[in-house]
Structure 1
Amino acid sequence: MNNNFRGNNRGRRPWNRQKRGGRGSWARGGGRQTNNYGRNFSGDRSGNNQFGSNRQYKRDTPSKRLTEEEIGVTEYISDHKGFSGIIKSRFSDFQVSEINEEGEVAKLTDVKPPELPKDEAVDEDEDLLFNKYNLEILPMETWDKINQLVQDTNTKEEKVEIDVTGMAKDQRTKIHEAVKKAFGESVVGSTVTVDDKKFVQFDKYRKGIRIDNRVKWVWPEEYLYFVLYKENCDTMEAVSRLAERLRMNIKPSMIGYAGTKDRRAKTSQWVSVRRADPRRVAAACTALRPLRVGNYRFRAVPLKLGMLKGNRFRICLRNVTAPDSTVDEACALLRDNGFINYYGLQRFGSRADVPTYLIGQKLLQGKFKEAIDLILHSRSGPLSETLQLYHSGDIDAALGALSASVARAHPVESRLLQALAERPNDLLGALAQISRNNRLLYLHAYQSLLWNRAASRRLRRARGVLPGDLVPDTAAGNVAFEALEEDSENDDEEIENNDTEDKEKQEKTEGKSEKENKKNKREPKELIKVKVLTQEDVDSGSYSLSDVVLPLPGYKVTYPPNMKDFYEDELQKDGLKLDMVHKFKSYSLSGGYRTVVTRAGDLSWRTVNYRRPHGDLLLSDADELDGAATAEDPDGPYKALLMTMDLPSSCYATMALRELLRIDTSSESQAQLNNYHVKDKQTDGKTEMDGQTEAGQTENGGEKRKNDSDDNVDNKKVKAN
């Protein structure tokens, strides 16, 4: 393959590049930009792009999909007779509601924004209200000039200008607030810089003069929280669309959320935005269906990834043919024994030819060129032409074939191409243009694969505790013990590197300033302390399999003595070591612990009959607001199992369903079961298979199954993070 890119790239300006610089210098969103071909990249307000409208962009279509066996998922906990049931026959059959750290379940019940609080008569700046003209803020001479400006009918009157050079921002803000208190919207204020001097200017309001929008923040706390309800799109896509509609010059990354929720589902979760007026958010989302927002509240801190207790899943399994006694037995075993806490297929992307763990493996091996080529592998779909041109070595033509809408829908590929066009040999710099969380998804996928294989190997030895197992040293409860990295103070800080040239290049291309690093730095997560079980511990009967944890490989973890050789052998096959220390800090992994078996909380179930294969059997938050009814029919020919369960964060509901049904949970396998009602077309003319089809439904299979694109990697996790 030829990747000797043409030399005519030097000096060209890629379409999403704002300024020349090193790693981290490309904008990650926001701002009006134009590509090399005259397309407006992010300033499109017409509603014609993916993020400003309800149009769903066509996704890549993978050929062969991963199987459970390929990701190490082979064992079961309980020994019972499984039964057939279709997982996600329709995306409405899978509904997820976030559970916050206080144990509150996210539920959209009120879409009306709160009333604007009445301004207090006296606040901490009481002097601003005691007199119309606050002489402590401005001298009387200046107040007279502003008053004359307002009263004068001569529209050519010059502006009132106040020299504020050297004045702190809060002092300038007090000037703006004092004038606004005195004259309201009849005066327009602004702060300008002229010849290295800063001035506050006031002008009489008239048509064509921009109104000062810097109004006093009157809401109770700094951050607006609200419930975001979405259908059939992942969290990142929903957040991007929301940021686009708010038109607040904010990036999607400035909208906080605790975890990503599954795409092919109906989900509700909390979202936070700094200083966003709820009335404005409500208005912006009216045209974003199927997104809905509501249940507004205010908090002092923003939401960050991991700030959740878990998720509540409401699931419908269709066309269950087993008798109720078999279903009840299997559900009771799931409730009592739990399920193996495997990482589900969603963790590893949708393509068998380029699974995300393989990309992670190449990154950990330091084979950055191979990793990039895997990310940019040729495939059908909207990126097809671009990727073919990339592999031919013509990066200019590849970028030319990449439209703005496709670039927005595929940020990982587009940012790699931009970076390689500018610096073909700076592979680390190119990878640094991918968001850190996306890069970590590849690394964590490799860790997850090893964990799955280790769990299967351990369970084949015994279904009970063994000497050498690890258990938490303190009573930690039924929680996920992972502490996988989400941020790093310096993405590419080297732990050990004697190459002077590389070191100088790294210093030259650091993407964050020291100030930004300090601002965004998070306290590192502490791993739980673990205890190695002895034979005496095992004989005591004090521990069960649900207490046992296995490590995700990393330099902070303790490996169980009875599994250490397995981990070492698996890593050595890939040229890696147990400590997972990389030449570059951002590719070193500290590891974590994960319970081998977990139990669903508040598990409940019931069976219902139905006639219409396309009818909703679960009511979503939006359905309840709209007063919709379910399609349950006591005399219907088909049976469905309705389940509700709470799972800790990082647990996959599909793995619970796999334990219950004892069948393959891959979407490819499930799609083959989804034509169960076709044979009834000829015999039951009154059914609604022929009549009431919905957008996205096939004639004979309910909603058309959409393939998750591998470029979004783990963002579509059923675990909902």
Structure 2
Amino acid sequence: MEKEAPYYTFLDTLCYISDHIGFYGTIKNSPADFVVTEIDESGELVTRDSSKETEEQMQASSNEMTTGQNNVKKQRTNLRDLHDSRAGVSGSISDLSEVASEEMKDFTSNALHYHFNVTVLDSLNHFADSIKSAWKAQLSEADHQELSLGLFPEKSERANIHSAVRQTFPFLITFTKSTELLVKPNLDYQELCQLTSEEEADDFFTFLDAKVENSRFTFQPDSCKEHRTRVHHFINKKFGKLLETKSFSEKDNGLQMATITVRFRERKCPSIKRHRTEEVDKHSVYTAFTLQKENLETLEAISYLSTLLGILPSDFSYAGIKDKKAITYQTMVVKKVSPESLRTVESSIRRKGMKMYNIHPVTQPLRLGQLTGNHFSIVVRDVSNHSDDSLTDVQLRIEEAICNVKMNGFINYYGPQRFGKGQAHEIGLSLLKEEMERAVKLLFTPDAAEDSVNKAKKYFVETGDAKGSLALMPNYKVRERMLLRALHRYGMNHEGCIRGWLCIPHSMRIFYIHAYCSKVWNEAACFRVKSYGAKVVEGDLVIREQNASEKSSLSDRVHVVTAAEEEAKTYTMSQVVLPMPGHSVTYPANKVGQWYRDALAKDGLQTCKFRVGSLQLNLPGCYRQIFKYPLKLAYELSLGSQHEEKEVTTGTEIVALPKPHLTLTLDLESSCYATVCLREMMKFNF
């Protein structure tokens, strides 16, 4: 049990899977009592000395980067040569465009025939004709029509089809649901057709989709300033982040005309003299390192590092979040920072409880979940029996508990770290309901502790003075300070609160919604186990095994168990999953599915799309196994005495014999929580 305030008191209501009695003890008395080491994808601990391997990686990465840069230069040369050869066909820009257009039509036509059979092509052509006909007849029901083009597991194949369809039918847009590719009307195209000719709209969207570097698109000359203004506004509103427009005046038969030219925005360069190739090279620099941190949140560590290096927190990537009150080792990758530059901050980060090892260049960032799991070394102190179980030797209780967890596993609940302290899940619920002001108030609601953080929160709640609260808030409270700065600038109204939340990095914003969804998952898992126990039943969701030759996404492998499969015991509990709420998940087809619907409705989310556009948050959902098992579980009990703490009288002095402590080592798969495994083992909430 931690010395600090509890993270998440409603873990108390969640059930267990085994019926042993358990034992009492405390964890995380100090960071050294809880050591977490990441296990990489090759199954190796990230802390092992890999100096020789690092040198080999540096050389390999250097070679790859050089090869990649040469390929980029070669492609650019080819593009310039192609541009020059086309320019030689005619000195006229319009002739050049026609040549390019004809080549593109040939290419996209061949691509469509390659990917689609005759039936799909006919359906696509018919769909395109029906959309055009409906628009001419001013029928609005066509705006919501969709056509499925089929399932395409390969991402590269989907990308080619996206481009081919949009180049052939500029008035359509393509999108993907899982691996299914669909097409629907492009309403932006329809809106532009009200300002320009259909031919110009076709050419504009073909130009837009092609995204050819340094290319431009020019509309027909126009003498009406008001009409040109409307075109400018349309493009800036719809594509302002990607395109920029400018009008050029000219005279035609004595009449003052103007043409609107559109081009792609250039990337911002730190120096006017710096060439674009150098800028690309800079952004393609990735440096990996092992981060050791002590008593520090992962996001807090990243925030401090980004400040020292003068980059954004989003420039760091990692495989997973690690515990705060612990000593942890994990791999990180930072972009736009060379190994030499990273080494310059090594001495500065030591005072914050951080160290870096194995610094070397790599070619790409990390992604969440890109690890095998974590290795834990845990000391449970003050081990004793529960108060109502004083007659049995504590060593027998420990052996019984460890045996049960090895055999039966544990319910794979999200642990305390997923929720932080305070009301993270309530904040997440408010953000999902787009109650931005309530979410801010919840974040700044103080708890009972008398410290500088709560004093700053209390001052803000009482006065609403964001500037004054910022002066009181400690520097290490990164997200609170970011939000207070924004509230001081934009105000505490709905729009100001949105701007405030947007000032917090995406990973921090989405943390709160994940906390809410994790709470729902935990309670759903508890309901599932109480309702059906440890057997697979009809309506459960399972993850089907994937053959080596198959290439399908996880969502495609989710299967609803049938009555016949339940009777035949086709699946095991290790395959049973429950969904994290989101817009792209399937819910169980038994009373657990109804539980989800009731729980979300109770929280006012019965119509929630799990997208918060104003905060750029999108939650498709995911699936999580209900049961997990510890790997390589070993333990050692250090008996300070053979029994529990006793008072021993020696003359006039009373001596308290120390209680024993338990040392555990175990491996857990990624996204599993050691505190949850310990909870099942000890039958005790931390």
Q: Give me the TM-score of the superposition, normalised by structure 2.
A: 0.57
Counterpart of 2:674, as a letter, is A
Residue 416 of structure 1 and its aligned partner are, at CA, apart by 4.3
Q: Is 1:656 the equivalent of 2:677?
A: yes
Structure 1 residue aligned with 2:662 = 641
Task: Give yes or no for the alignment of 1:235 onto 2:298.
Answer: yes
Q: Does 1:574 align with 2:603?
A: yes
Looking at structure 2, the residues matched to 653 and 539 of structure 1 have their Cα atoms a distance apart, in angstroms, of 34
Query: What is the CA–CA distance in structure 2 between the aligned matches of 1:430 and 1:80, rounded to whole Å?
Result: 49
Q: State the SS of the aligned residue for 2:374.
A: strand
Map 1:168-183 onto structure 2 (within 5 A): none
Give the corresponding residue for 1:440: 510
Distance 1:526 1:388 in 2: 46
**2:44 alignment partner in structure 1:** 104
Alpha-carbon contact 1:114-1:278 (below 8 Å) kept? no
- How do residues 16-27 of structure 1 correspond to structure 2 at under 5 angstroms? none
8 A Cα contact 2:38 2:371, kept in partner: yes
State the shift of 1:394 in Å: 4.7
Aligned to 1:532: 560
| 1:261 corresponds to which of 311, 322, 327 | 322
- Change beyond 3 A, Cα 1:658–1:389: closer
CA displacement, residues 510-532 of structure 1 (integer Å, 9 cap, x when unaligned)? xxxxxxxxxxxxxx985353222
Unaligned 5+ runs, structure 2 = 71-213, 215-270, 385-392, 642-656
Native 8 Å contact 1:471 1:549 kept in 2:
yes
Matched, 1:305 2:368: yes
Shift of 1:657: 0.1
- Mapped partners of 1:530, 1:79: distance in 2: 31
Structure number, greater radius of gyration: 2
Secondary structure, in 3 states, of the residue corresponding to 1:262? coil
Distance 1:383 1:606 in 2: 39
Of 455, 461, 471, which aligns to 1:391? 461
* 1:439 shift after superposition: 1.7
Q: Deviations over 1:279-323 (max 9, x none)?
A: 553453135333222123332112233322221111111233444
Match of 2:111 in 1: none
Q: Counterparts of 1:366 and 1:596 in 2: how far apart (Å)?
A: 30
1:584 corresponding residue in structure 2: 613
Matched, 1:345 2:416: yes
**Counterparts of 1:71 and 1:405 in 2: how far apart (Å)?**
30
CA distance in 2, matches of 1:320, 1:543: 39
Unaligned 5+ segments in structure 1 are 1-60, 127-167, 169-196, 202-213, 478-523, 612-635, 666-721
Post-superposition offset of 1:75 = 1.0
SS in 2 for 1:358: helix
2:30 matches 1:90:
yes
* Cα separation, 2, equivalents of 1:278 and 1:224: 6
Amino acid at match of 1:286: S
Q: RMSD value over aligned CA atoms?
A: 3.9
Number of residue pairs matched?
A: 442
Distance apart, 1:546 and its partner CA: 2.6
**Equivalent in the alignment of 2:650:** none
Distance verdict in 2 for CA 1:278–1:473, change over 3 Å: closer
2:358 pairs, out of 282, 295, 315, with 295
Matches of 2:640 and 2:280, distance apart in 1: 55
Summarize the Cα distance change of 1:270–1:309 in structure 2 as closer, same or farther, 3 Å threshold: same
Name the structure where strand makes up a greater proportion of residues.
2
8 Å contact kept, 1:553–1:579 = no
From the superposition, tell whether residues 364 and 244 of structure 1 become closer, same or farther in structure 2 (CA, over 3 Å): closer
Give the 3 Å change call, closer, same or farther, for CA 384–332 of structure 1 in structure 2.
Answer: closer
What is residue 430 of structure 1 aligned with on the other side?
500
Residue 473 of structure 1: CA displacement? 4.2
Per-residue CA deviation, residues 324-359 of structure 1 (Å, 9 max, x unaligned), is 3432232122112110011123322323xxx21111
3-state SS, counterpart of residue 288 of structure 1: helix
Q: Check conservation: 1:224, 1:299, Cα contact below 8 A.
A: yes
Find the aligned partners of 1:76 and 1:537 in 2 and give their Cα distance: 26
Supply the distance in 2 between the matched residues of 1:413 and 1:239 (Cα, whole angstroms).
Answer: 16
Distance in 1, matches of 2:394 and 2:338, equals 53
Residues 536 and 569, structure 2, Cα contact 8 Å, conserved in 1? no
After superposition, give the CA deviation of every residue in 1:674-696 in whole Å (9 maximum; x if it has no partner): xxxxxxxxxxxxxxxxxxxxxxx
Alignment of 1:400-439 (within 5 A): 400-403=468-471, 406-407=474-475, 409-419=477-487, 421-425=489-493, 426=495, 427-439=497-509
Distance (whole Å) between structure 2 residues aligned to residue 387 and residue 525 of structure 1: 45
Mean Cα displacement is larger for which, 286-295 or 549-558?
286-295
CA distance in 2, matches of 1:275, 1:413: 26
Q: 2:531, 2:512 → 1: CA distance?
A: 30
| Distance change >3 Å, CA 648–CA 541, structure 1 → 2 | same
Tell me the distance in 2 between the aligned counterparts of 1:599 and 1:437: 29
Aligned to 1:452: 522
Q: Out of 419, 436, 441, which is 1:373 matched to?
A: 441
Aligned partner of 2:187 in structure 1 is none
Q: Give the one of 579, 583, 605 matched to 1:555.
A: 583
Cα distance change on mapping 1:83 and 1:284 into 2, 3 Å: same
Query: What code does the residue aligned with 1:651 have?
Result: C
* Higher RCO (CA < 8 A, seq sep 6+): 1
- Residue 464 of structure 1: how far off its partner (Å): 2.7
What is the distance in 1 between the residues matched to 2:537 and 2:356?
51
Give, in angstroms, the shift of residue 374 of structure 1: 1.0
Q: Which residue of 1 aligns with 2:204?
A: none
1:229 aligned counterpart, secondary structure:
strand
Counterpart among 21, 27, 37 of residue 81 in structure 1 = 21
Cα separation, partners in 2 of 1:243 and 1:555, compared to 1, 3 Å: closer
Q: Give, in whole Å, the separation in 1 of the partners of 2:538 and 2:12.
A: 22
Could you tell me which residue of structure 1 aligns to residue 177 of structure 2? none
Using a 3 Å threshold, how does the CA distance of structure 1 residues 528 and 657 change in structure 2: closer, same or farther? farther
Deviation, 1:660, is: 0.5
Amino acid aligned to 1:643: L
Indicate the SS of the match to 2:638: strand
Do residues 333 (structure 1) and 404 (structure 2) align?
yes
What are the Cα deviations for residues 396-437 of structure 1, in whole angstroms up to 9, with x where unaligned? Answer: xx3145239824533234324424532443132222222222
SS of the residue 2:18 aligns to: coil
| Match in the other structure for 1:316 | 379
The structure richer in helix per residue is: 2
Q: Cα distance, 1:601 vs. partner?
A: 2.0
Q: How far apart are residue 271 of structure 1 and its match?
A: 1.7
1:437–1:72 Cα change, 3 Å? farther
Q: Which residue does 1:604 correspond to in 2?
A: 634
